[in-house]
Amino acid sequence: MNRILIIGGYGHVGQKIARRLVAAGQRVTIAGRSASKATDVAARLGCEGTALDLARPESWGAALDAADAVICCLDTSDAALARAVVERGARYLDISATDAVLRRIEGLDPVARQNGALAVLSVGLAPGLTNLLVREARARCPGAQRFRIGVLLGLGDTHGPAAIGWTLNALAPLSRGDIRPMRFGEDRHGQPTIPFDFSDQHSLMRRGYPAVETRLALGSPLVTPLTLRWLAAVASRPRLRRILARVLPFFRFGSDRTALVVEAFTDAGNAPVCRLTLDGRAEAEITALVAAEAALRLSETGETGVRHLDELLTLDDLRAVLCRHGLRLSEG
């Protein structure tokens, strides 16, 4: 049977992926820098645990050699891990959202093909499900000239330190005009959204989609255009950003609602010709669900090279599992 190595595997999302894969009967190893955390969490999840430090390639060998697939659940600064995996002919799945790194991994396409390996990028919620929703919106509306993605993350939800750090780093200072309302699900009123540098928009446009823009909303009664601008201003100062990153995990004010909306437009007007929405709870659970499903579904594929999730799966492929998880998909 195949062995799946999850790097960052005892982190917030990594653990949830591991639990799902173990439940599906897979042999799983979770890895991070602490051997004791890895083995403790692994014992609880019914899998194996090992120490591996992404910053020390000399620590990768044994764990990579034993894996048929590697799921990367942390931000990397380059494509070295992905290269080491595909050179071994194994599958690589990446849940991270930094476009500059994903672009470098895309450059490994010839190496992956030569080695009969597949690397899958944009695995998760955003990027991930957002890519699949845009693919679906384009299929339903081939004349669309631009797409707008909205990602709503509830401030009552739990996120891991790496995800919180990444989000704060990506918050750019905002002007009043940057903040625009978007409606999620069946909401009657829009929530304030800001332009946000998730990788989905960039990777889709590189592959021939017309203009794509991704916007972020933070679901909480405390979030208004004013508090959003304040948050972005605070996050732009490194010292204050570090303090925020430490405080935010204890700050829950709102629900754990997680929602996506993709709107397709045929002209410069503001009325979308197609609007697809997905509404659920608990962002990390949804990310883990998509990552585990992708790992299982793509284990037997004959595809090789470096691909984004939307090049390998459609929304329909995941529809049943998303619905079982309580996610509501709708159009209109």
Ligand X SMILES: NC(=O)c1ccc[n+]([C@@H]2O[C@H](COP(=O)([O-])OP(=O)(O)OC[C@H]3O[C@@H](n4cnc5c(N)ncnc54)[C@H](OP(=O)(O)O)[C@@H]3O)[C@@H](O)[C@H]2O)c1
Name the residues that contact ligand X, by CB under 6 A.
7-8, 10-14, 32-34, 37, 52-55, 73-75, 95-97, 124-128, 159-163, 166, 284, 287
Give me the least distance between CB of 51 and ligand X, in Å please. 8
Which residues, in sequence order, are bridge partners of residue 27? 3
Q: Within 13 Å of residue 31, how many CA atoms lie on the same side as its CB?
A: 24
The CB-of-265 to ligand X minimum distance in angstroms stands at 24
- What DSSP character marks residue 254? S
Using DSSP, state whether 186 is helix, strand or coil. coil
Helix (H) or strand (E) holding 203: helix 199-206
Comparing CB distances to ligand X, the nearer of 144 and 162 is 162
Nearest to ligand X of 120, 141 (CB atom)? 120
Smallest gap from Cβ 60 to ligand X, in A, equals: 9
CB of 273 to ligand X, least distance (A): 27
Q: Are 94 and 118 in contact (CB under 8 A)?
A: no
CB of 110 to ligand X, least distance (A): 25
**Rounded least distance, CB 286 to ligand X, Å:** 8
Supply 25's token pair.
Answer: 């009967």
If the CB atoms of residues 166 and 178 are measured against ligand X, the closer one turns out to be 166
* Rg, the chain, Cα only: 19
Nearer to ligand X, 33 or 180 (CB): 33
Select 11 or 280, whichever has its Cβ closest to ligand X. Answer: 11
CB closer to ligand X out of 144 and 199 = 199
d(CA 109, CA 145): 28
Which residue has 């990390």 as its token pair? 284
Handedness of CA 227, 228, 229, 233 (dihedral sign): positive
Amino acid identity at 252: R
Nearest residue to 159 (alpha-carbon basis) of 109, 125, 136: 125
Residue number with CB closer to ligand X (97 or 329): 97
Shortest Cβ 96–ligand X spacing (Å): 5
Min separation Cβ 236 and ligand X, Å: 19
Residue whose CB is less far from ligand X, 141 or 168: 168
Handedness of CA 233, 126, 199, 183 (dihedral sign): negative
Q: How far apart are CA 58 and CA 70, in angstroms?
A: 17
Q: Quick one: tokens of 189?
A: 């009123």
Instruction: Tell me whether the omega of the peptide bond preceding residue 161 falls within 30 degrees of 0, making it cis.
Output: no
